[in-house]
Each structure stands twice: as structure tokens, then as C-alpha cells.
Homo-oligomer: A and B are copies of this chain.
Amino acid sequence: MKQLAVHTTSIPGLLVIDLPLPGDNRGWFKENWQRAKMVEAGLPDFGPVQNNISFNQVEGVTRGIHAEPWDKYISVATGRVFGAWVDLREGPTFGTAYWHEIGPDTAIFVPRGVGNAFQTIEAPAAYTYLVNDHWSEAAQAQYTFLNLADETVAIPWPVPLEKAELSDKDRAHPRLADVVPVPPRRT
């Protein structure tokens, strides 16, 4: 069994978290997020106010690439996904990509301004995440999006996107050259 640990990646602030998953005759149990232990282990004290779950019925469901104005702490409750992230923040790391499989014993911390995407590789997958600001239909106009098929970042999707299950909205996002980088946070 993994011990709780926090790892850095090639994208500044994007963290991979190993989660212990004790098992018994009933199944398994996990502390998916535990503020005190995780802050101690190196996770920011990000203050979630919303928990979302998306249920992805079949292999190849693909969602993204979305950079919203908040941090995300991501994991799965069942199934397995291929996660991919692209730094969309203004600056020298703009366009840097990273990918990592997420099973039940992995979580990912995605800082604000980093584009988030995933594809289901074991279905169904229940993808669950915590965010530190409230989503709204109206505010979506100001989010930053990148096309899943962008040729520059060239994410190696396990299921080719032509055969994948996407939303029409996600098919219409711009290529990297047309993305307006996310400016530093005004405080």
C-alpha cells in the first residue's frame, strides 16, 4: 500500500499525491482529502467550497481542456482515467504539458491557470474533485480553454479523439497559438 506523499511535476504547482488505500473483506477506504495531513505533506491549504463528481459511462469519454479561475484537487472514486494538464499561465512555462494515470490511489492538485483534461481508460469512471471557488454558468465566458487535439502539446490520448466521446463545446476550443494566456492573479 502507498503511503501519503506529495510529488512535484514539470508544471510549477501541479502536484501528484499518493493516497493510502487500506483494503479488507468489504472493499477499500481512503482519506481522499484530509486537510491537516495533506497540508503537512506539502499540499496548499486551498480551502475548497465545492465538490463535483462527473460520471463517465464508457471508455474514451474525454473532457477538457479547461483552465478555470480556481484550484482543483482531483481523484477517482471508481475506474481509471488518463489525466493531462497544460500550463496556460502567462510566462516561460506556457504550453508545458504533463500527463499521468489516475486510479483510486492517486490524486492531483491542479493550480489555477493550468488547463485540466482527462480520458476514461477503465469505465465507468467516477471523477471527483474539490474546488476553491463557485462555478457559474455565466462566468464560463471568462474561462480559458485549449483544444484537446492541439498539435503543439500533442497529448497521447489512449483512445484517438475521433473515436472518443466529447461534448460539442469541447470540440470547438482554440489551438494553443490562439489561447490568451491566463494573467497572474490580481490581489
Taking Cβ atoms with an 8 Å cutoff, the residues of A that contact B are 24-37, 48-57, 61, 63, 77-78, 104, 124, 126, 128, 130, 134-135, 165-167
Contact = CB atoms under 8 A, between A and B. Distances in A.
14 contacts: A26-B57, A27-B55, A27-B61, A30-B54, A33-B50, A34-B50, A35-B50, A35-B134, A53-B77, A55-B77, A55-B78, A77-B77, A78-B124, A78-B126
B55 A32 contact: no
Given A29-B53, A31-B51, A53-B77, 8 more contacts: A28-B55, A29-B52, A29-B54, A31-B135, A33-B51, A51-B51, A53-B128, A77-B128
- Mostly, the A contact residues are strand
A38 to B, nearest CB: 9
A124 B56 CA distance: 15
A26 B77 contact: no
Contact of A52 (B27, B30, B36, B134): B30
Given A51-B33, A130-B51, A27 B77 contact: no
A35 B49 CA distance: 5
B52 A28 contact: no
A61 B29 CA distance: 13
B167 A25 contact: yes
A134 B29 CA distance: 15
A36 B134 contact: yes
